Amino acid sequence: MKIFKKAALVILTSAVIVNLSSCKKNAVDDQQENQLSLQNKQSALASGTSLENLIAYKKSDHQITAGFYRTWRDRVVSGNANDPVMTELPDSLDVVIVFTNYTPSDSPYWTKLKDVYIPYLHARGTKVIITGSLTMPAGAGQNAAGYAAAAKKIMDETVNKYGLDGFDIDIEHNVTGAELTEKTGIYTALSAYLGPKSGTGKLLTYDTNQDGNTPFFKNVCGMIDYVWLQAYGSGSSTLQNTWNTFSPNIPSKKFVPGFSFYEENGYPGNYWDDVLYPQNGTGRAYDYARWQPTGGSKKGGVVSYAIDRDAALTSPHDNTIVHPNFKVTKDLIKIMNP
């Protein structure tokens, strides 16, 4: 089975926020954001879509759509007028996964995330989670108490601090030996707060470029809500074989294959061509939305990396910063839930 490489930069530690002093800090113009909010409300009313209907849709049995949102491409961080803000994400998006780098701890983004973005998205029934790692606090023992301390640190310093709806763990290597014991211990402790065993309704997800037959996945499979599969660059014909490795341990509704939007400056070393010409509705992203596992049960949905680049690009390798219109995301939602 092909091992997929993630189209991303360095994942944050359990502290989540990477402090890079060289990053430029810029604030969104409040008047512009208020105008955007008004336009969104007017659009919702014009289409006859109420917030109540949106929330009811999110709670219904359907194939979800999720997206990794890169914080350094948020306009609050970049200061680029062509970059998005999180209030522009499609109302029908089920889960947005905050993917952070190049965003200092004192960036105004974090206040905006807590005070503006998350309340706005919650009003539309959209869950907001964040990608992080499983690391032990300094001085903690390799025992149940230490694992509990690690889980509490994640909750206190990240999930509860910002009012998030869950935590996504990124696993891109084979976890073995002492690391397997440690990560399994932390994951198990975290499952008391998040995931299906917690009873809280908050999400605990597993983000990977690996198959489902690894020792770590087998240890934690009963504690997860979704597997975000980094299937970037692979044809939809490969999804069945990959799903077969997960199917002994999770239902298909938890299996969510993922594609990547074209990252600016990604060519030639970090690109996937999963979306060719957005205007034409072609590419692997559309194939993933239509794909279903054999046997009659539906997949969980689709997840995209760099949803902030869901823009009207003029060519597959367009490096220009184009303001996103989220056409592809909206197309995929319609394909899976007509």
Active site residues: 172
Which residues have a Cβ under 8 Å from the Cβ of 301 and sit 6 or more positions away?
62, 63, 64, 65, 66, 94, 256, 336
Q: How far apart are CA 234 and CA 227, in angstroms?
A: 17
In this structure, are residues 285 and 275 in contact, taking their beta carbons and an 8 Å threshold?
A: yes
- Measured CA to CA in angstroms, residue 146 lies from 14, 35, 48, 189 at distances of 14, 48, 51, 10
Tokens of 97: 């996964």
Give the closest residue to 64 by CA, choosing from 89, 92, 94: 94
Question: Do residues 62 and 298 lie in contact, with contact meaning Cβ atoms separated by under 8 Å?
Answer: no
DSSP-derived secondary structure letter, 70: E
Tell me the torsion sign for CA atoms 55, 163, 109, 302: negative
Give the CA angle between residues 265, 8, 33 to the nearest 5°.
75
Q: SS3 for 258?
A: strand
- R_g of the chain, CA atoms, integer Å: 19
